[in-house]
Each structure stands twice: as C-alpha cells, then as structure tokens.
Amino acid sequence: MTRSGHLTLVLGGARSGKSGFSEKLARESGLERHYIATGRAYDDEMRERIARHRADRGEGWVTHEVPLDLAAHLTKIDAPGSVILVDCLTLWITNLMMEGHDVDAEGAALVRAFESLSGRLILVSNEVGLGIVPENRMAREFRDHAGRLHQRIAAVADEVFFIAAGLPLKMKG
C-alpha cells in the first residue's frame, strides 16, 4: 500500500493511558487537530465518560461524532496539514455489531481508505485478546473482530504502540 500520510496505531487495555498518549502525539505534531469520537452516549455513565474525555483533551480540537461510517468520514476531513485521532476502534466495532453490519467488510473498507489519506492518522483501540476467553458468543465474536482489525491495521501502520500502566512500548516503526 502506498500513501502519503502517516498512520499510528495505539493499543492498550482499559485505563492504560492510550487516549492521553495519543492526544499528546497529536498535540506535538503541531498540525490542525481533529478528534473522531466513535462512542455513543446510551446512559449517564457513558455521557460522563464522554464529557471527561472532552475536558481532558482541552481546547484546540475539531470534534466529530462518527459512530458508524468511519472510512467515509476520514476521507472527507483528511488534509495534508492535519492530524486525525480516532478514539476508539473497539467502540466502532461495537456500534457495527449492534447495527448488524458486516464488521470484517467495514474493517477492510477502513484499511482501504488509508491509501488515500494524506494527513496524519492516529487510531486508538482496546486490546481485548489478552484476557480469558469470553463466556458468550457475542463477546467472543467481538474479541475476534477486534483482533483481526488490529492485525490488518498493524500490517500497514507506520508505527504501533502498546500502552500499559501509562507507559508506551513501541512495537513497530
């Protein structure tokens, strides 16, 4: 795959520090910053999480709420002098599953979209494959979708980081 943009994948567990690390990368780029939020506020707890994330990010971001059509939106807002931070892919996968979309096809479309991007892209996702095998089918399917998507993205990414306890481990690049 040939592209002119720069792609970074940031993986980690819940509350590992991956969002803060990714936001720091974006701020340090000195580029115009776009934040794509994939989460949906279905309840008060999720609304509080979203508000906390927004407050933690601070000023200087153009925020886009994109629960489903991620590839098309990336293509729409991409520009050579910008950085786009997507937080997070696992919430996007959840949205796709809940809406009955073909997650693998959507993931393939997302990876294809990277080819046309000229700006910097930072993708955040939860690494969910390190724990116990989930007890129900949907949770196992979710874990498998996330693992396959992470592998696809890592294969074409310029950089891949794994975050644990707030510490970044550079795995690629």
Which residues are annotated as catalytic?
A: 53
Q: How far apart are CA 121 and CA 94, in angstroms?
A: 21
- Residue 82, phi then psi, degrees to nearest 5: -130, 160
